[in-house]
A and B are shown apart, each in its own frame.
Chain A
Amino acid sequence: MEVRWEVLLIILGAALVTFLPRVLPLMLLSRLALPEWGVRWLSHVSIAVMAALVGQEVLLHEGNWVSLSSNVELLAAIPTFLVALKTRSLLGTVVFGIVAIMLLRYWLA
């Protein structure tokens, strides 16, 4: 049941950078407004970061390119996207993705 220093540092650092965007607009926006270009830039950050994470998880393995013909993650990701589009359910998408990769690894192993 121990907490390592390195892990504690990561948790506290990550908690701080998560806390600030959550509270600062609520606390400050009655006094100041974000510039228009800033709002526009921020509105693209969530799409950009999610696509980047999916790209890295699915197309790379430990920082190296995985050839498309042997990429099981990509094979699971495509129907997972379709399920998300069709069902619009986050939970359904996650469950489908996990089951899909489990079956693909079992069959193709």
Chain B
Amino acid sequence: MREQNIRMKAEAALGGEDTFLQGVKDCIPTLLGYLSIGFAAGVVEKTAGLSVAEIALMSLCLYAGSAQFIAAGMMAANGSASAIIITIFFVNLRHILLSAALSPYFRHLPGVRNMLIGALLTDETFGVAINEAARQKRISERWMHGLNITAYSNWFLANIAGAFFGQWIADPEKFGLDFALPAMFSGLLVLSMVSRKKWVLDSVVAVSAVVITVGVSIAFGANIGVIAATVMAATIGMVVEKWK
């Protein structure tokens, strides 16, 4: 009885904060990021030789800025399909941690509905959702779909806009657009190191990764460099952490 009462009060207090529309509204602060990075991705993909249809398909199926930049860059450099897919696998492996962190809030739902929530998970929507969880102690499924679908449709529109704009750019390097990828990863790297606050350990991992990728790329080719560096540097980090 008492439990039920508290629950009803809690729901009344939340009043409308868990609707689909509220999820749409809570996505708004991240939209500028989606629009600009999605636009840059569309331009870079177009100048890498992808057609508008291919860009549309990529933004809808892949829906990951970092992976799309990598695909465009490696396709322009004639990377093999397997190297592109394996590199993207490692880049997007971080989603395991985001998905795992959200899983306690959706444990009551059946598998397929969890799949629908996870399929559109990104760094940004995770950031908004985990804030919501900290505030409300719960995340509503409808709210999550509102957030996810808003981000997803903006990403798609921004990619298409970038693809059309990219048709008029003959030389993307002249405008520095090829630098969007390293700049974005520099930013993501710094931001995650700032939030983790494990400066020494993270620096050891980062420096190892740079040294290994340069060494392996020169010796065995650029295709394998990033993959080997990721596996080895993450292992170094795991061992150093254990050993300290």
Residues of chain A whose beta carbon lies under 8 Å from any beta carbon of chain B: 1-4, 6-15, 17-19, 21-27, 29-30, 34, 37, 39-60, 62-65, 73, 76-77, 80-81, 84-85, 88-91, 93-102, 105
Complex interface: chain B residues within 8 A of A8 (CB): 54, 57
B190 near A85: Cβ-Cβ < 8 Å: yes
Complex interface: chain B residues within 8 A of A59 (CB): 210, 214
| B159 located at the interface, meaning its Cβ lies under 8 Å from any Cβ of chain A in the complex | no
Complex interface: chain B residues within 8 A of A85 (CB): 190, 194
Complex interface: chain A residues within 8 A of B177 (CB): 98
A100 near B176: Cβ-Cβ < 8 Å: yes
Complex interface: chain A residues within 8 A of B54 (CB): 3-4, 7-8, 11
Complex interface: chain A residues within 8 A of B147 (CB): none
Complex interface: chain A residues within 8 A of B213 (CB): 51-53, 55-56
Instruction: Kindly identify, within residues 24 to 74 of chain B, every residue whose CB is under 8 Å from any CB belonging to chain A.
Output: 32-33, 36-37, 40, 50-54, 57-58, 61-64, 67, 70-71, 73
CB distance from A72 to the nearest CB of B (A): 10
A105 near B176: Cβ-Cβ < 8 Å: yes
Bound-complex Cα distance A80 to B50 (A): 28
Complex interface: chain B residues within 8 A of A43 (CB): 97, 237
- Contact flags B135-173 to A (C-beta < 8 A → 1, else 0): 000000000000000000000000000000000000001
Main secondary structure of the interface of B (DSSP, over half): helix
| B187 located at the interface, meaning its Cβ lies under 8 Å from any Cβ of chain A in the complex | yes
A80 near B186: Cβ-Cβ < 8 Å: yes
Bound-complex Cα distance A41 to B57 (A): 32
Complex interface: chain B residues within 8 A of A64 (CB): 218
CB distance from A61 to the nearest CB of B (A): 10
Count of chain B residues near A, Cβ 8 A: 100
Complex interface: chain A residues within 8 A of B131 (CB): none
Complex interface: chain B residues within 8 A of A30 (CB): 103, 107
Complex interface: chain B residues within 8 A of A94 (CB): 36-37, 40, 180, 183-184, 187
B57 near A51: Cβ-Cβ < 8 Å: no
19 A–B contacts, CB within 8 A, in A order: A10-B75, A14-B62, A23-B99, A23-B119, A26-B99, A26-B117, A37-B242, A40-B241, A48-B206, A50-B185, A51-B205, A51-B210, A52-B210, A53-B226, A55-B213, A85-B190, A94-B183, A99-B176, A101-B179
A26 near B191: Cβ-Cβ < 8 Å: no
Complex interface: chain B residues within 8 A of A11 (CB): 54, 57-58, 61-62, 71
Asked whether A22 and B234 contact (CB < 8 A) given A2-B51, A93-B186, A101-B176, the answer is no
Complex interface: chain B residues within 8 A of A47 (CB): 189, 192-193, 196, 202, 205-206, 209, 233-234, 237
Bound-complex Cα distance A30 to B207 (A): 36
Partner among B75, B94, B120, B210 whose Cβ is within 8 Å of the Cβ of A54: B210
